[in-house]
C-alpha cells in the first residue's frame, strides 16, 4: 500500500462549465471519472492513493481511507472530499485494487445547470488554484482581474481535444473457437450440477499507433451511452449499465442486470424467455443474499423490467433497502457494503465458489478489475459502486484489453453466447473508432 500524502487540506471553488463536464474531457488527461447523463465527477492527478490485494483488499482500502480522513483538515470531513475505487474481480489477481484521491476534482450535480464545484486537495497550505489547474490543462476565466465580473468563474480547457490514433483489434487470450469450447465446458458443469449458472468472458486487445487519448474515449462513451455510468479508475475504463451498490446515508440501492438480447431482436421475446428470467433471478438472489446481513430491510420487484440501451435490451431489477446500524449506531462503510455484494451471479455464477473456480480454469485470462466494483465514495459515507463492465484494462499507452461476457445456464447455446460477447464489445470498439 502506498500514499502520495498522509494528510490533506482542501479548497473549493464554484465554477461555470461553458463546455459542460463531458466537453472538457478530450483536452484533459483524467486520472479518474464517473459520469452519467452529463453530470458526475472528473479527477485530475493524484493527491493520495493506495493499492491493495488479496482477500482483504476492501478492508485495506477502507483502513487507508479512514486514516486519511482522520489525519486531514476538518473541512475534508464534511463530504466534498471523494476517493475513486477499483477493486479486482478476484482476490488472487495479479492486478492491484486502487483507491485514488485526485488532486483536482470537478463535480457537477444533477439539476445544477452549468454550475460545478472544483475541489483541490493538497498536502500543505497556500495552494495556488490557477497554478494547479494549469498543470492539468485548465484555467479559470472571469476570476480575479480577468475580463468577466460577477457570478462564478468559468472553468475552461487550455488545449485542444486529442484525436483518436489508428487502432486495430488483436487476438486476446482465447480465440472465438476456444470461447465456444469454454461455454460448452460450462454447460457440462451445469449438467453435472457443479454450478447452476456460470458467467464466462472473453477478451480482445485493441492496439494503437499512438497513445490512446483516454479523455476522448471517455467522452465518446458518455455521449453514446448516457444511461450508463462512464468510469475510469486505475487502469480500468468503460461505460457500465449496472450499479452494484449505491449508498446515501442509511439508504442502499442496486441495479441488477442479467438477461440480454440485441436491439435487433424483439424486446417482448426477452420478457417471455424462461432461460433469461432464470438467469436474472439468480443474479437478483445473489445480490440480496450478499447484502442482507448488513441491512434491516430490502425490497426487490416481483418481476424485472426491460432496460433499453442503444445496442441491447436487458432485464433489470432495481433493489432498495436500509442499512442496519451496529450497537454503537454506526452504519457499515461503503466499501464493506460493496465487498458483501461482490461478486453477484450477474458476473460470476451460482454457487459463487465453484463458479469462480471454473472461471479461472476456463477463461485463460486474469480479469483484473474487469467485473469488479468500480466507483467512488466520499467523506460523508456516500458512494456509487458500479460493476466494471463494457470496458477494458489499459496495459500501456498503446494497448487496451477489452472484456465481454455472458451468463450460461441450462439451455444456453455456445454460438448465441459468443454473439452476446460481440454485442457487448461494440460500445468500446466504437468509442475507439473501430466501428465508425
Catalytic positions are 197, 242
- Joined grid coordinates for residue 378: 466520499
- Joined grid coordinates for residue 403: 472484456
Measured from the Cβ of residue 132, the count of other Cβ atoms closer than 10 Å reads 19
CB neighbour list of residue 24: distance below 8 Å, 6 or more residues apart: 17, 42, 106, 138, 155, 157, 215
Cα 166–172–174 angle (5° rounding)? 155
Strands 312-323 and 197-208, by their bridges, are unpaired
The whole-angstrom separation of Cα 285 and Cα 301 is 12
Cβ atoms of residues 346 and 283 within 8 Å:
yes
Q: Report the half-sphere exposure of 2 (CA within 13 A, side-chain side).
A: 3
CB neighbour list of residue 145: distance below 8 Å, 6 or more residues apart: none
Amino acid at each position: 500500500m502506498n500514499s502520495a500524502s498522509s494528510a490533506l487540506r482542501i479548497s473549493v471553488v464554484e465554477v461555470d462549465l461553458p463546455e459542460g463536464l463531458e466537453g472538457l474531457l478530450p483536452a484533459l488527461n483524467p486520472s479518474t471519472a464517473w459520469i452519467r447523463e452529463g453530470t458526475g465527477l472528473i479527477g485530475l492527478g493524484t493527491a493520495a492513493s493506495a493499492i491493495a490485494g488479496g482477500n482483504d483488499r476492501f478492508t485495506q482500502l477502507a483502513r487507508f481511507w479512514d486514516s486519511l480522513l482522520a489525519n486531514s483538515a476538518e473541512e475534508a470531513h464534511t463530504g466534498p472530499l471523494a476517493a475513486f475505487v477499483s477493486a479486482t474481480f478476484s482476490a488472487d489477481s495479479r492486478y492491484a485494487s486502487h483507491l485514488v484521491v485526485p488532486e483536482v476534482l470537478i463535480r457537477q450535480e444533477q439539476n445544477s445547470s452549468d454550475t460545478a464545484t472544483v475541489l483541490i486537495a493538497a498536502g500543505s497550505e497556500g495552494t495556488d488554484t490557477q497554478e494547479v489547474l494549469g498543470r492539468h490543462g485548465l484555467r479559470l476565466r472571469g476570476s480575479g482581474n480577468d475580463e468577466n465580473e460577477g457570478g462564478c468563474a468559468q472553468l475552461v480547457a487550455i488545449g485542444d481535444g486529442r484525436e483518436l490514433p489508428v487502432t486495430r483489434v488483436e487476438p486476446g487470450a482465447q480465440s472465438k473457437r476456444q470461447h465456444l469450447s469454454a461455454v460448452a465446458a460450462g454447460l457440462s458443469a451445469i449438467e453435472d450440477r457443479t454450478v447452476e449458472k456460470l458467467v464466462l468472458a472473453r477478451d480482445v486487445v485493441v492496439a494503437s499507433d499512438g497513445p490512446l487519448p483516454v479523455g476522448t474515449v471517455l467522452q465518446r462513451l458518455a455521449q453514446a451511452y448516457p444511461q450508463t455510468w462512464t468510469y475510469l479508475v486505475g487502469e480500468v475504463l468503460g461505460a457500465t449499465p449496472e450499479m452494484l451498490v449505491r449508498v446515501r446515508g442509511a439508504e442502499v440501492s442496486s441495479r441488477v442486470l442479467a438477461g440480454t438480447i440485441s436491439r435487433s431482436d424483439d424486446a417482448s421475446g426477452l420478457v417471455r424467455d424462461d432461460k433469461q428470467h432464470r438467469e436474472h433471478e439468480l443474479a437478483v438472489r445473489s445480490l440480496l443474499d450478499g447484502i442482507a446481513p448488513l441491512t434491516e430491510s430490502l425490497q426487490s420487484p416481483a418481476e424485472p423490467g426491460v432496460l433499453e440501451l442503444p445496442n441491447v435490451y436487458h432485464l433489470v431489477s432495481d433493489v432498495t433497502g436500509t442499512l442496519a446500524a451496529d450497537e454503537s449506531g454506526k452504519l457499515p462503510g461503503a466499501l464493506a457494503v460493496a465487498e458483501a455484494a461482490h461478486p453477484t451471479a450477474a458476473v460470476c455464477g451460482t454457487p459463487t465458489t465453484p463458479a469462480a473456480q471454473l472461471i479461472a480454469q476456463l477463461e485463460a485470462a486474469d480479469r483484473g478489475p474487469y467485473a469488479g466494483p468500480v466507483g467512488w465514495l466520499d467523506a460523508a459515507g456516500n458512494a456509487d459502486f458500479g460493476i466494471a463492465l463494457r470496458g477494458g484494462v489499459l496495459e500501456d499507452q498503446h494497448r487496451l484489453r477489452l472484456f465481454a461476457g455472458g451468463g450460461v445456464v441450462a439451455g444456453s447455446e455456445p454460438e448465441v453466447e459468443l454473439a452476446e460477447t460481440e454485442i457487448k464489445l461494440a460500445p468500446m470498439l466504437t468509442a475507439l473508432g473501430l466501428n465508425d
